[in-house]
Each structure stands twice: as structure tokens, then as C-alpha cells.
């Protein structure tokens, strides 16, 4: 929001397209807490409200409020889920007067719907005709602790879809009826049987090589100090590569689609073309070995313009020259919209 030109361009797009739902991830705003609250202190937070009671938090809170109080965003309801500090965070905007029946801020049906994920990663909204999930997946990272965190997250996501499917199939009707009795007001989390589901957000995974500009290069990246050779630095094969395209992340995403009966909407409407390794490129704005690809990377180039809608993550230019940037002219598709298979034709 501090980048005025980009925000104005986004505002114009919203004004023109009038989307019903806007999902923003990694908003990097702290949740409201006491003045003395700090990261990881365990003190209570209002994760649905921006922190605005400290000298450091007030400027960001003021900017956000000013931007969202102006048209077209003043015509939207706000649903926040925030972390302890300026990290992670999700904001879902719903156009007025669309009715939101119920809300949930975690993916565990056994927890209260009002209990937020501690990192502010989940907003679930139930509409009359569709259920919506907005999430920001944790980065897979380069180290074992991060790998475990991501594996746990992927398991929670898959379990959410499996249990939702069980309710749809009617295999737990008695449990659902009992749950509905316990739920109060608008916090209930059980979806109606057979209702379509749309899941959007930064899912932090490039599902296939078609979602990478330089697949061979991305898939062998390791953190400095790690690699192959000793037990201390050995990277398991399933975790090898740039976070977002490791084998384990891809396998988990494939399971989420198949077992959750979901469809990758972008891929549904944009079928895979020739493999990127069969393409070379030249010309302004196109990926090429001379622009960050590295020696011998000709067969690993891609004809697609890095700035097109196909890619949702792009590397930044280097400090001295653009080409000096490690990820310059490289890109991935890691943000997604996935839906119940029967919804695919309607999205």
C-alpha cells in the first residue's frame, strides 16, 4: 500500500472488475495486543484487528485504514487474520451486500471456529452458494525445522478436505448434527452437504515443471552450507530444490487435489503446452540464458514473458546490474485457485 502507483493501478482494476471476493496474503501487519506485547510472548491477541497502539504500529495502521476507507474498497467487508508481529497474515475482502453466513479462522473442525491460526494464515467464509477458503501457506524453507512445519501444514489442509468430504458423503451425519447444536451464532464451521468449495491464496508450490521458467535450475537449488557429501549437510531427495518446487511439496499438492476432489483452475483453463525445456527465447522481457539463466541453460529457457499472468512469483534484479540477481528473469506459479471439480466449469 506504500507503493502508491501499484496501489492505484490495483484500485482501478477493482473499480472496473468489481470482484465479489479479494484475497490478500502476507499482509505483514501485527495483530492487536497490549502495548507491551512482543513476538511469541503468549499474550492474548485480537487477530481480527490491526495493532495500532504503539508508536511503531500506528503509521502502518493509519495507511491501511485510509486506503481501505476509500472507494472502491469502502464497498467491501473486511475479514482479517493476523500474526503476533509483522509476518504472514491474510485479508479477505467481500463486496457489500454479499452475505457471509459463517466464518472460520482455522482448518481444524475440532477447534472453535473463532480460534485463529497463530500465524494468521486462514480465513474460511461460508456463503449461501459456495464455501471459500483463503490461506497463506508457510514457505518450505531450506532447513529441517521448516520442512517439518510445511509437512504439518500440508497434512492439516488435506485432512480438512477429507473431513469435509466425509460430511458431504453423509458418513458423519450424527457428528455434524451434534456439532451444529454446539455452535453459536455466526461462528459455525460445518458446510452444507455438496456445497461447492473455492480455495485461493499463496499455496507456495509450483505443481509441475510447466510452472517454472527454469525447471532444471530450480530443482537443484540448496542453501549455502547444505548439499551432498556429509550426513550433516545432506539434503533428503524429497526436499531438494528451491522451496516451492521440491518433490515432497509437489506430491502433497497432488494429493490435496486428488483426495480432496479439487481442480487447479488456472491449469484447467490454460492447458499445458510444450515443456519449457523444448523452448528457447530472445527479445525484451523474455527469459533467456543471458538474463540470469546461467551458462549451459539454453535448453532450460522458456518462451513465456516473465511478466504475464502465468507467473505469480518473480525474481528481483541485482543491486549493481539486473543480471547479477540470482533469481532475475526467473519465475514460478505458486499462487492458486483450486475448486471442487464440479465447480471448475463455473469459475
- What one-character-per-residue DSSP string does 118-161 give? TT--EEEEE-SS-EEEEEEPPP--SSHHHHHHHHHHHHHHHHHH
C-alpha–C-alpha distance, residues 34 and 84, integer Å: 11
Please report the pLDDT score of residue 95 as a whole number.
97
Please report the pLDDT score of residue 194 as a whole number.
64
- Residue 34 CB: number of other CB atoms within 10 A? 13
Rounded-to-5 percentages of helix, strand, coil across the chain: 35, 20, 50
Domains of the chain: 1-36+43-98 (no CATH), 137-172+192-223+237-270+307-346 (3.60.10.10)
C-alpha–C-alpha distance, residues 224 and 284, integer Å: 32
Q: Is 54 left (phi over 0), alpha (psi -120 to 50) or beta?
A: beta
Residue 199 sits at φ, ψ, to 5 deg, of: -115, 120
Report the number of secondary-structure helices (H) and strands (E) in the chain.
7, 13
C-alpha–C-alpha distance, residues 144 and 148, integer Å: 6
Please report the pLDDT score of residue 339 as a whole number.
93
Q: Which of 230, 196, 237 is nearest to 340 (CA)?
A: 196
Judge if the upstream peptide bond of residue 166 is cis by omega within 30 degrees of 0. no
Residue 158 sits at φ, ψ, to 5 deg, of: -65, -40
C-alpha–C-alpha distance, residues 235 and 242, integer Å: 12
Q: What is the pLDDT along the chain (347 residues), one digit of tens a residue?
A: 556 778 899 999 999 999 999 999 999 999 998 888 878 888 889 999 999 988 888 999 999 999 999 999 999 999 999 998 888 999 999 999 999 999 999 999 999 999 999 999 999 999 999 999 999 999 999 989 999 999 999 999 999 999 988 877 775 566 556 666 665 444 444 444 468 899 999 999 999 988 988 888 899 888 765 544 444 567 889 999 999 999 999 999 999 999 998 999 988 888 765 444 444 443 333 343 333 333 344 434 555 677 777 889 988 888 888 888 888 888 999 999 999 866 555 56
**300 marked ligand binding residue:** no
Q: Which of 113, 115, 89 is nearest to 31 (CA)?
A: 89
What are 290's three cell numbers? Answer: 543471458
- What one-character-per-residue DSSP string does 229-290 give? SSTTTBPPGGG-SSTTS-HHHHHHHHHHHHHTTEEEHHHHHS---S-GGG----STTB--II
Residues 6 or more apart whose Cβ sits within 8 Å of residue 1:
7, 63, 64, 67
- Residue 50 CB: number of other CB atoms within 10 A? 21
Burial of 337 (C-beta count, 10 Å sphere; 0-12/13-18/19+): middle
Please report the pLDDT score of residue 191 as a whole number.
45
**204 marked ligand binding residue:** yes
Amino acid at each position: 500500500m506504500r507503493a502508491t502507483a501499484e496501489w492505484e493501478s490495483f484500485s482501478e482494476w477493482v473499480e472496473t472488475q468489481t470482484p465479489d471476493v479479494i484475497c490478500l496474503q502476507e499482509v505483514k501487519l501485527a495483530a492487536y495486543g497490549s502495548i507491551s506485547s512482543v513476538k511469541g510472548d503468549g499474550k492474548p491477541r485480537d487477530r481480527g484487528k490491526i495493532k495500532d497502539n504503539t508508536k511503531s504500529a500506528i503509521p502502518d495502521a493509519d495507511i491501511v485504514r485510509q486506503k481501505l476507507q476509500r472507494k472502491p474498497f469502502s464497498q467491501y467487508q473486511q475479514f482479517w487474520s493476523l500474526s503476533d508481529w509483522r509476518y504472514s497474515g491474510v485479508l479477505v475482502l467481500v463486496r457489500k451486500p454479499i452475505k457471509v453466513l459463517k466464518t472460520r479462522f482455522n482448518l481444524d473442525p475440532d477447534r472453535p471456529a473463532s480460534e485463529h491460526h497463530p500465524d494468521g494464515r486462514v480465513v474460511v467464509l461460508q456463503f449461501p452458494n459456495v464455501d471459500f477458503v483463503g490461506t497463506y501457506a508457510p514457505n518450505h524453507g531450506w532447513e529441517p525445522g521448516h520442512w517439518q512445519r510445511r509437512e504439518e501444514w500440508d497434512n492439516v489442509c488435506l485432512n480438512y478436505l477429507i473431513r469435509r468430504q466425509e460430511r458431504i458423503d453423509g458418513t458423519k451425519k450424527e457428528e455434524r448434527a451434534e456439532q451444529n447444536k454446539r455452535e453459536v451464532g455466526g461462528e459455525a464451521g460445518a458446510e452444507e452437504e455438496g456445497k461447492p468449495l473455492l480455495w485461493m491464496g499463496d499455496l507456495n508450490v509450483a505443481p509441475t515443471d510447466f510452472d517454472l521458467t527454469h525447471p532444471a535450475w530450480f530443482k537443484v537449488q540448496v542453501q549455502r552450507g547444505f548439499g551432498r557429501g556429509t550426513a550433516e549437510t545432506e539434503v533428503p531427495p524429497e526436499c531438494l530444490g528451491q522451496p516451492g518446487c521440491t518433490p515432497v511439496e509437489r506430491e502433497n499438492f497432488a494429493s490435496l487435489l486428488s483426495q480432496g476432489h479439487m481442480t487447479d483452475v488456472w491449469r484447467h483453463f490454460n492447458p499445458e503446452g510444450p515443456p519449457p525445456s523444448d523452448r528457447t527465447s530472445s527479445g525484451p522481457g523474455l527469459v533467456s540464458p543471458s538474463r540470469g539463466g546461467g551458462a549451459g541453460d539454453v535448453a532450460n529457457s522458456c518462451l513465456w514473458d516473465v511478466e504475464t499472468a502465468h507467473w505469480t512469483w518473480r525474481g528481483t534484479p541485482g543491486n549493481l546490474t539486473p543480471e547479477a540477481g540470482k533469481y532475475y528473469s526467473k519465475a514460478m506459479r505458486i499462487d492458486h485457485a483450486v475448486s471442487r471439480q464440479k465447480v471448475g466449469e463455473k469459475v
